[in-house]
Amino acid sequence: QVQVVESGGGLVQSGGSLRLSCATSISINSIYAMSWYRQAPGKQRELVARITFSGNTDYGDSVKGRFTISRDSAKSTVFLQMSNLKPEDTAMYYCNAETSSRIAWGQGTQVTVSS
């Protein structure tokens, strides 16, 4: 069974930082890209950041310049370094892994930013 597991969420004050991790059981050779999405209560899920395993990155407009996505080149693992966090960043953060045949999602990790 394919697994995608997020970790690193928590409660942080406005202006603080957090680092999220996402690991998947999918073989690194099968992965095309991995992404972070977030969903706040009452809002639609939105793209936060995406990285292809060839190294290209893409960010949502609201996080550009504050968040950085990276990957472990030896493992099927990606990270999301979040800096200068704002209360509006509060959401459940989800990771997914894309292959040629499917997109596998994790269960999410909660990030809460207090003002």
* Averaged pLDDT for residues 15-36: 96
Q: What is the dihedral of CA 50, 53, 54, 59, to 10 degrees?
A: 10
The pLDDT, as a whole number, for residue 1 is 83
The radius of gyration of the chain's CA atoms, rounded to the nearest angstrom, is 13
The mean pLDDT value for 79-103 works out to 97
Residue 2 has pLDDT above 90, yes or no: no
Q: How far apart are the first and last CA of the chain?
A: 40
Question: What pLDDT does 74 receive?
Answer: 86
Cα–Cα distance between 115 and 100 in angstroms, integer?
Answer: 41
Residues of the chain above pLDDT 70, percent:
100
Q: What is the pLDDT of residues 56-75, one digit of tens each?
A: 999 999 999 999 999 998 88
* pLDDT confidence band for 55 (50 / 70 / 90): confident
Average pLDDT, the chain: 96
